[in-house]
């Protein structure tokens, strides 16, 4: 591993940084980070989810997510309500303002996601995304916080 440039780990780090830079640039009018955006989307999909389950649903670290939620609450995009059944957990809900933000920001997010892959030919974009999706899925257990979307939903009301 003489030069670092050909190592997959190095390239994934670079791509992550590029993806974040593009996201932030496209969404700068909204002052929302990629992590905050993903959290909002998942809270909208699963209203009343708690922080631990949210961390499993988006595969983000539980400790980190705590401060992300704090910031989202400070910006009044979500609110935390005590759980009736379990005094330990706090349930997460989008506020009206959070729902509105999500509606407004989506075009910018889509533009960002498109820009990330834009330099490749359309066929190559498809190929890369297919392989990337596969690789993330197959390596799920290797990450510190594996994705547990299904399991997490088991414990919710799970109407849908």
Q: Which of residues 6-45 bind a second copy (CB under 8 A)?
A: 6-23, 34, 37-38, 41-42, 45
> Cβ neighbours of residue 140 under 8 Å, at least 6 residues apart?
146, 147
* Binding partner of residue 133 among DNA, a second copy, none, CB cut-off 5 to 8 Å per kind: a second copy
Return the structure tokens found at 118: 């834009």
Q: Strand pairing partners for 49?
A: 92
Instruction: For residue 77, give the nearest of 47, 52, 106, 40 by alpha carbon.
Output: 40
At residue 73's C-alpha, the angle toward residues 69 and 67, to 5°, is 30
Candidate residues 31, 70, 86, 124; the one interacting with a second copy per rule CB under 8 A: 124
Taking the complex as a whole, the smallest distance from the CB of residue 3 to DNA amounts, in Å, to: 17
CA atoms within 13 A on the CB side of 83: 15
99 binds a second copy (CB under 8 A): no
* Binding partner of residue 66 among DNA, a second copy, none, CB cut-off 5 to 8 Å per kind: DNA
Taking the complex as a whole, the smallest distance from the CB of residue 126 to DNA amounts, in Å, to: 25
109 binds a second copy (CB under 8 A): yes
Return the structure tokens found at 75: 């910006």
Q: CA 113 to CA 106: how far, in whole Å?
A: 10
Applying CB under 8 A, the residues found at the interface with a second copy are 1-4, 6-23, 34, 37-38, 41-42, 45, 58-59, 106, 109-110, 112-113, 115-117, 119-120, 124, 127-129, 131-136, 138-139, 142-145, 147
């Amino acid at each position: 591993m003489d030069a670092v440039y050909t190592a997959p780990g190095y390239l994934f780090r670079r791509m992550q940084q590029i993806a974040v830079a593009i996201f932030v640039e496209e969404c700068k009018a909204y002052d929302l980070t990629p992590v905050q955006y993903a959290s909002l989307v998942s809270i909208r999909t699963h209203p009343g989810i708690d922080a631990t389950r949210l961390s499993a649903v988006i595969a983000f670290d539980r400790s980190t997510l705590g401060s992300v939620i704090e910031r989202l609450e400070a910006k009044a995009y979500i609110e935390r309500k005590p759980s009736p059944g379990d005094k330990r957990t706090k349930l997460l809900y989008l506020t009206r303002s959070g729902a509105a933000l999500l509606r407004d920001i989506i075009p910018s997010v889509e533009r960002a996601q498109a820009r990330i892959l834009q330099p490749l030919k359309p066929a190559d974009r498809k190929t890369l995304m297919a392989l990337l999706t596969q690789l993330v899925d197959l390596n799920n257990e290797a990450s510190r916080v594996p994705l547990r979307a299904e399991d997490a939903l088991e414990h919710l009301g799970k109407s849908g």
